[in-house]
Amino acid sequence: MRNRLHFNISTFEIDEKQKLFNEIDKECLSIGYYNLPEQNIDNILEFVNSFDESVENIVVLGIGGSSLGAKAVYEFLKPVKKPWRKLYFFESTDPLNIMEILSKIELDKSHFLVISKSGTTVETISIFKYLYAKESRATRYTFITDKESPLDKFATKIGSKVFYLPKNVGGRFSVLSVVGLLPLALCGVNISELLKGAKSVKESFFNDGYLKESLLNKAMFYAKYHTTYNINCLFAYSETLRYFSEWYVQLWGESLGKKQCNSAFHVGVTPIGLIGPKDQHSFLQLIVEGTRDKSVTFIKIDDFQNELTIPNITLPYLESLDILNGITFHDLITMQSDSVIEALKAQGDIPLDEIIIERVDERSIGQLIYYYELLTSLVGKLINVNTYNQPGVESGKIILKNKLQKRSKNDK
């Protein structure tokens, strides 16, 4: 993994950077996600090794941090590495969506992972109740939740297997914990490699490696100009990263969109996930000519492990496009991203950077995940927010609970 910054970082002092580094270094003691790359995964691997071989579908009941991470990794790897089992997600209360997923899975060949940190997530429990009424065998379910949560107690009572979330790991930082690792391992993802990828970024940052400078500089730039560039676009040149960008949107938006600590001032940087070259034909115009309120990070894949080639044929009246002949699609998409980067650089006033990952494998996505988690923590520290909570979503939940209670009483 490499990272090239194309914006001016000359104004940042060495001691400012050291101060930031020290603060993050200190967070490793209290915030759980930093240490996930070194966790012991024996219990997960044992569970997977003795898992019922007749199960064809792993079905996650979870929403937000309980689903986005595993989905990002699964969908990234799928086109290159055929999964052992199919992974499905119930992550909405939309009845049409629930029906659609139900129509795709054979219940009898499915195992359900019910994932809820609090154990009382409305969406997840609603769907669980629906499924449990159809399939109540405890062996068909595995639960991932906080120790002592109502869901933990329920699962223990019916005799299902329960895994616990590690301490001080929030939902959106949990993909490298059992929350992401269990469903992925059950589908054949090499979770050791995933963690090794994350570890390589961790070591590079904390042990004076190649990523330390670029992460610190990038975070300081984003934080310094967060009111000017209040939008951050992640422009990934591969469809495989489509769900990674959904994961990034949650991580970035929910971590950084806050009232500042000790003030009532609203801050935040808005995340946008784009996929190239498709979004060259959609969002690019807005980046090139629109308001200068966006920073852009391009993600490119070094090696698509694929030789699909445009054939050497000439079509009458379309001879001008013979310049495409004999080129691999891999080379074409790389030239497309390079051309757009060049065009944006020429504008001169759009902060750009490039991340290049090696290939579509576990190690690369592990690196990308940990890189973005670190970047989020760094920017959060600098714009003075609590990166790890989400108090803003509570009021809507309370209003819903009241509505449901009122309705429930009226029914009686």
The nearer residue to a second copy, 150 or 188, going by C-beta atoms, is: 150
Query: Would you call the peptide bond into 277 cis, given omega within 30 degrees of 0 as the criterion?
Result: yes
Q: What amino acid is encoded at 17 in this protein?
A: K
Q: List 270's β-bridge partners, or say none.
A: 231
- Please name the residues in contact with 278: beta carbons below 8 A apart, sequence gap of 6 or more: 239
Report the candidate in 408, 365, 412 with the shortest Cα–Cα distance to residue 78.
365
Q: What is the 3-state secondary structure (H, E, C) of 141-189?
A: EEEEECCCCHHHHHHHHHCCEEEECCCCCCHHHCCCCHHHHHHHHHCCC
Angle 287-292-293 from CA coordinates, rounded to 5° = 90
3-state DSSP assignment of residue 273? strand
Supply the angle between the helices 242-256 and 362-382 in degrees, to the nearest 10: 20
The answer to whether 284 and 337 are in contact (CB under 8 A) is no
**Residue 141 C-beta-side C-alpha neighbours within 13 Å:** 26
- Nearer to a second copy by Cβ, of 205 and 237: the residue is 237
Instruction: For residue 222, give the nearest of 300, 288, 296 by alpha carbon.
Output: 296
Contacts 24+ apart (CB under 8 A), 46-51: 47/161, 47/182, 48/182, 48/185, 48/186, 51/111, 51/186
Taking CA atoms, 69 is separated from 95, 180, 206, 288, 311, in Å, by 23, 6, 24, 31, 38
Nearer to a second copy, 207 or 314 (CB): 314
Q: Which two tokens stand for residue 203?
A: 């070591």
Least distance in Å: CB of 386 to a second copy? 10
- Complex with a second copy: residue 50 or 95, whichever CB lies closer: 95
User: Judged by CB, which is closer to a second copy: 43, or 136?
Assistant: 136
The nearer residue to a second copy, 37 or 64, going by C-beta atoms, is 64
Residue 122: CB minimum distance to a second copy, A:
7
What minimum distance in Å lies between the beta carbon of 31 and a second copy? Answer: 18
38 or 293: CB nearest a second copy: 293
For residue 333, give the H/E element and its range: helix 329-347
- In the numeric block, the tokens 């890189």 are attached to 371
Residue 383 to residues 22, 156, 220, 222, 226: CA-CA distances in angstroms?
16, 42, 9, 9, 8
Residue 30: CB minimum distance to a second copy, A: 21
Q: Residue 76 or 205: which CB sits closer to a second copy?
A: 76
CB 140, min distance to a second copy, A: 15
Catalytic machinery residues: 254, 281, 397
Nearest distance from C-beta of residue 364 to a second copy, angstroms: 13
* Spatial distance between the Cα atoms of 352 and 344, rounded to a whole number of angstroms: 8
CB of 296: closest distance to a second copy in angstroms? 12
Q: How far is the CB of 153 from a second copy (least distance, A)?
A: 4
